Amino acid sequence: MEIIDLTEKYYQQYFCCLEDWSEDMKDAGDHKQRWFEQMKEKGLRVKIALIDEKPCGMIQYVPVEHSVIEGEDLYFINCIWVHGHKQGIGNFQKQGIGKAILQAAEADVMSLGKKGIAAWGLSLPIWMKASWFKKRGYRKADQTGMSVLLWKPFQKDALPPRWIKEKKKPEKTDGIVTVTSFVNGWCPAQNIVHERAKRASLEFGESVKFQEIHTSDRSVFLEWGISDALFIDGKMVRTGPPPSLEAIRKFVRKKVKTL
């Protein structure tokens, strides 16, 4: 296994989180590419794990001031992912790849003189498990719902980070169904939700108002305290895993019928 900094050779695999075989990824649009172009000028770091020149794992992390948390002199891990599907290159999980790329990222952040690194994890035993990070020396700093904020300080004077809380929600508009999509760009799964919601909304013509809020602009994110989410008439729709186009269409149709 070799761990490298992302190069142009592997851009396309990176933009779809190594799932270039997936038909669903065709619905993600070019949001991640545009996010990457914006964030690489602001300190985004990406490492790719290769086996026989095949990208099988990745990690991306940004300076805390460009993340969804509050902190000082830290980096924040947006996600770490080892390909685990039978499709494409196959399942590479449980081979120590995740641990290796996490250690590579930590060493990189240390070399930049930062005081620590933070990550998010879920309290449930699914993707991005908080328990996985805890086994690797990360401490709980904050929690909101199932999302746990963890961190690993490198220096004694490092201060723990905190989640940036939701500030407000989109409001319902009388006489019309309002679909509001918050999209940051870093996550293809959430980009898929955004594009499907937009497509479904347009099918209902003037009965539905579609609003897109781009939170890669930090000032916009701070205004709302929401990074990626879908709301229909002010109520959040569960988006993990991404609902199908037909499922979103049904949500919207149900609301339209009540007008």
My answer on whether 13 and 109 are in the same domain is: yes
My answer on whether 149 and 124 are in the same domain is: yes
**CATH number assigned to the domain comprising residue 100:** 3.40.630.30
pLDDT bin (cut points 50, 70, 90) of residue 124 is confident
The last residue of one of the domains, among 163, 191, 225, is 163
My answer on whether 118 and 187 are in the same domain is: no
My answer on whether 38 and 153 are in the same domain is: yes
CA distances from 4 to 78, 145, 187, 214, 239 (A): 18, 35, 21, 30, 32
Average pLDDT over residues 124-149: 93
Element (H, E) at 208: strand 208-214
My answer on whether 130 and 200 are in the same domain is: no
My answer on whether 158 and 191 are in the same domain is: no
pLDDT bin (cut points 50, 70, 90) of residue 127 is confident
The pLDDT tens digits of the residues spanning 161-182 come to 999 999 999 999 999 999 999 9
Residue 172 lies in a domain: no
My answer on whether 17 and 51 are in the same domain is: yes
Q: CA-CA distance, 9 to 51, in Å (whole number)?
A: 15
The last residue of one of the domains, among 131, 163, 195, is 163
Residue 212 lies in domain = 177-256
Residue 169 lies in a domain: no
The pLDDT tens digits of the residues spanning 208-228 come to 999 999 999 999 999 999 999
